[in-house]
């Protein structure tokens, strides 16, 4: 097909699909908001057919790989490449519509699509075939490279190189320095023996959060306030303070003084949440002219503050160890104490704490917002969770244990299903470290491959009834014959570089659901919310849940 004609179809299709997606994503959340309607099928089918033919031919030609230049994708314009597609007014995609773009590329180009000519960054290659995704992960080697957060990379490797040096942590660090750091901290962070000790402390944090909701936040209609997302953020901060800093930060306390430490930590975390996407994705001129970017300067002050807080609490933990009074968790060593004892390196523990704080606040608070919204808008599933909790926790005041949480199979499946259908992290990625064949094309080293969780997780080729919300699919049983490709839903990534905090994340969300649903009914009686992306994928708008006690 002639290229200009193809672009015209593409542009027309794009307008249609954006309109449909907008309409869909404001509708009741019973189907995937990204399903495509029949009215687009002629264009989509034409495009799909053409590219599917090429991709299949390419895969079949096992010895004769097609060159990279043949990979389909929107054509870059001379000089300005494809960056204009993200530009305000003339561009097709707003940052908030990146999720849409990942669906669109799949609809138009099929299993593989290339977005090249992006100003100041390598090409992006979107792969929509789970078998190919599996191959990429399996061949990623011992030091997988995940392109991430240029602002953090600049901060750690240039601006504060004197502090981080060779011990820069895992986030925004690559190659041997990453492997060495990760191998020194991975065991304690992921080992069940350590993680399960946090059930009770996290339960206490969650009790305080629910008490705050019921005694301070609910209005006369038993509804939570417009900015309830901020309250979830504070709960997430309080949880991470416990895990990464061995302390209760006090973020859930009543009227906080604006100058108090918890309030300053809340402000710093909220700045990061609201501004990092803007800093990284919108005109990132701070990369070249940092001294004239007020947002970059604020970002640096913010990061310096996080480092200071981490140093303070890790140094307190060191003092406790020196004084022989360790045992921050009811007499058992905490994560930080284990790392300090085993590695005998306060700096390493400080940098680890910083990394856990940096990625462990927004991820969990966005995922939790999404889970609570789904819970409140799916009364049938909520009732099933409640019945399971009532069976496993007959006395609502019974302290939670790891075994109790593990018995809540449906609750765990509900969380997994939300993370499949509304993956908080919409895509994971790897920068290829060697030339690699993907879908029959020879892809050169240096290209950034994107695995779009949201798209493949809702693709019927890899998941049965893919756009339907069915937590049961995650429960092993003889009647469960649902297909679920192992690489279709990877909310925490996978392989050597997978999420370091996944065990804590799962536990925090399970504790919250167990305490909340066992004791309260959650409803949402307002216009349905649309999901959109800032850095993460979550419902946008006021989470004005109604919370009523269950009474037993």
Check if the beta carbon of residue 504 is closer than 8 Å to that of residue 390.
no
CA distance 241 to 259: 18
Q: Which of these ranges, 194-202, 353-361, 433-441, 510-518, lies near ligand HEM under the rule CB under 6 A? A: 353-361
Shortest Cβ distance from residue 127 to ligand HEM (Å)? 14
Q: What does the per-residue mask of binding to ligand HEM show for 457-496, with x meaning CB under 6 A?
A: ----------------------------------xxxxx-
- Site for ligand HEM contains 425 (CB under 6 A): yes
Could you tell me the two tokens for 275?
A: 């501004």
CA distance 118 to 96: 18
Candidates 32, 125, 170, 237: give the one binding ligand HEM (CB under 6 A). 170
Candidates 339, 359, 463, 507: give the one binding ligand HEM (CB under 6 A). 359
Shortest Cβ distance from residue 514 to ligand HEM (Å)? 16
- Site for ligand HEM contains 114 (CB under 6 A): no
- Site for ligand HEM contains 328 (CB under 6 A): no
Q: Output the DSSP codes for 459-508.
A: -TTTBTTTTB--GGGGS--TT----B-TTT--TT--GGGS-TTHHHHHHH
Shortest Cβ distance from residue 145 to ligand HEM (Å)? 9
Could you tell me the two tokens for 109?
A: 């180009």
Q: How many Cβ atoms sit within 10 Å of the Cβ of residue 433? A: 16
Tell me the residue ranges of DSSP E strands in 271-369: none
Distances (CA, A) of 543 to 326, 502, 516: 40, 25, 16
Phi, psi of 168 (to 5 degrees): -90, 0
- Site for ligand HEM contains 424 (CB under 6 A): yes
CA distance 449 to 112: 10
- With a CB cutoff of 8 Å and minimum separation 6, the contacts of 156 are 164, 168, 169, 172, 173
Scan for tokens 């968790």, then name that residue: 329
Shortest Cβ distance from residue 430 to ligand HEM (Å)? 7
- Site for ligand HEM contains 199 (CB under 6 A): no
Footprint (CB under 6 A) of ligand HEM, residues 252-291: none
CA distance 420 to 470: 10
Shortest Cβ distance from residue 549 to ligand HEM (Å)? 27
Phi, psi of 143 (to 5 degrees): -130, 70
Find the helix or strand (DSSP H, E) in which 233 lies: helix 228-245
Name the residue nearer to ligand HEM (CB basis): 170 or 266: 170
- Site for ligand HEM contains 243 (CB under 6 A): yes
CA distance 520 to 507: 19
Candidates 238, 280, 355, 388: give the one binding ligand HEM (CB under 6 A). 355
Name the residue nearer to ligand HEM (CB basis): 182 or 338: 182
Name the residue nearer to ligand HEM (CB basis): 171 or 532: 171
Number of residues that bind ligand HEM (CB under 6 A): 28
Check if the beta carbon of residue 475 is closer than 8 Å to that of residue 409.
yes
Name the residue nearer to ligand HEM (CB basis): 59 or 245: 245
Q: Which of these ranges, 121-129, 318-326, 383-391, 497-505, lies near ligand HEM under the rule CB under 6 A? A: 497-505
Best CA proximity match to 456, nearest among 421, 418, 432 = 421
Q: Which of these ranges, 13-21, 401-409, 498-506, 524-532, lies near ligand HEM under the rule CB under 6 A? A: 498-506
Name the residue nearer to ligand HEM (CB basis): 20 or 352: 352
Q: Output the DSSP codes for 253-271.
A: SSS--TTSHHHHHHHHHHH
Q: What does the per-residue mask of binding to ligand HEM show for 39-78, with x meaning CB under 6 A?
A: ----------------------------------------
Q: Which of these ranges, 15-23, 41-49, 69-77, 360-368, lies near ligand HEM under the rule CB under 6 A? A: 360-368
Name the residue nearer to ligand HEM (CB basis): 17 or 354: 354
Name the residue nearer to ligand HEM (CB basis): 59 or 413: 413
User: What stretches of 323-361 show up as alpha helix (H) in DSSP?
Assistant: 335-343, 346-360
Candidates 370, 428, 436, 489: give the one binding ligand HEM (CB under 6 A). 428
- Site for ligand HEM contains 501 (CB under 6 A): yes
Name the residue nearer to ligand HEM (CB basis): 76 or 491: 491
Shortest Cβ distance from residue 509 to ligand HEM (Å)? 7
Check if the beta carbon of residue 66 is closer than 8 Å to that of residue 114.
no
Shortest Cβ distance from residue 497 to ligand HEM (Å)? 4
Name the residue nearer to ligand HEM (CB basis): 17 or 359: 359
Give CA angle at 105 (437, 467), nearest 5°.
Answer: 105
Q: Which of these ranges, 29-37, 122-130, 311-319, 500-508, lies near ligand HEM under the rule CB under 6 A? A: 500-508
Find the helix or strand (DSSP H, E) in which 429 lies: strand 428-431
32 labelled ligand-binding: no
Find the helix or strand (DSSP H, E) in which 115 lies: strand 112-115
Best CA proximity match to 205, nearest among 454, 504, 499, 428 = 504
Site residues (vs ligand HEM, CB under 6 A): 146, 170-171, 182, 240, 243, 355-356, 359-360, 363-364, 367, 424-425, 428, 491-495, 497-501, 504-505
Q: Point out the annotated binding site.
A: 499
Which residue positions form the known binding site for heme? 499
């Amino acid at each position: 097909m002639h290229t200009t004609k193809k672009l015209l179809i593409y542009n027309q299709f794009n307008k249609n699909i954006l309109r449909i997606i907008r309409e869909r994503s404001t509708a009741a959340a019973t189907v995937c908001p990204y399903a495509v309607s029949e009215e687009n099928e002629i264009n989509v089918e034409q495009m799909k057919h053409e590219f599917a033919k090429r991709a299949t031919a390419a895969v079949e030609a096992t010895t004769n790989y097609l060159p990279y230049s043949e990979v389909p994708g929107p054509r870059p314009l001379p000089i300005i490449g494809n960056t204009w597609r993200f530009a305000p007014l003339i561009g097709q995609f707003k940052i908030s519509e990146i999720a849409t773009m990942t669906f669109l590329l799949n609809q138009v180009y099929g299993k593989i699509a290339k977005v090249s000519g992006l100003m100041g960054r390598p090409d992006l290659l979107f792969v929509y075939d789970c078998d190919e995704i599996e191959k990429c992960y399996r061949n990623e080697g011992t030091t997988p490279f995940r392109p991430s957060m240029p602002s953090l990379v600049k901060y750690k490797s240039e601006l504060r190189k004197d502090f981080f040096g060779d011990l820069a942590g895992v986030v925004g660090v690559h190659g041997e320095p990453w492997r060495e750091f990760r191998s020194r901290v991975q065991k304690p962070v992921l080992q069940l023996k350590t993680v399960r000790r946090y059930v009770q402390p996290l339960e206490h944090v969650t009790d305080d959060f629910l008490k705050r909701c019921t005694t301070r936040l609910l209005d006369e209609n038993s509804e939570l306030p417009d900015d309830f997302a901020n309250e979830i953020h504070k709960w997430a901060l309080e949880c991470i303070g416990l895990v990464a800093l061995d302390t209760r930060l006090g973020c859930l306390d009543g009227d906080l003084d604006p100058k108090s430490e918890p309030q300053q930590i809340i402000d710093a975390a909220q700045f990061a949440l609201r501004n990092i996407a803007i800093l990284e994705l919108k005109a990132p001129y701070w990369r070249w002219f940092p001294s004239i970017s007020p947002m970059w300067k604020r970002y640096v002050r913010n990061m310096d503050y996080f480092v200071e807080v981490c140093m303070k609490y890790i140094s307190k933990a060191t003092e406790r160890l020196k004084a022989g009074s360790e045992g921050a968790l009811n007499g058992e060593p905490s994560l930080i104490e284990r790392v300090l004892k085993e590695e005998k390196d306060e700096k390493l523990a400080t940098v680890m704490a910083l990394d856990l704080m940096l990625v462990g606040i927004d991820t969990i608070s966005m995922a939790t917002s999404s889970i609570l919204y789904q819970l409140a808008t799916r009364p049938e599933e909520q009732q099933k969770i409640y019945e399971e909790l009532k069976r496993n926790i007959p006395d609502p005041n019974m302290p939670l244990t790891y075994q109790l949480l593990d018995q809540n199979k449906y609750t765990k499946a509900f969380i997994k299903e939300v993370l499949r259908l509304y993956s908080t992290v919409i895509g994971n990625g790897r920068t290829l470290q060697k030339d690699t064949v993907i879908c029959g094309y020879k892809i050169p080293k240096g290209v950034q491959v994107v695995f779009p969780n949201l798209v493949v997780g809702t693709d019927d080729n890899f998941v049965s009834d893919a756009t339907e919300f069915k937590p049961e699919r995650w429960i092993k049983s003889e009647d469960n014959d649902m297909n679920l490709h192992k690489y279709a839903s990877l909310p925490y990534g996978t392989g050597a570089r997978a999420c370091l905090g996944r065990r804590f994340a799962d536990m925090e969300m399970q504790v919250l659901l167990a305490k909340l649903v066992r004791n309260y009914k959650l409803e949402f009686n307002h216009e349905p919310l649309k999901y959109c992306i800032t850095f993460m994928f979550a419902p946008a708008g006021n989470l004005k849940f109604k919370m009523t006690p269950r009474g037993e």
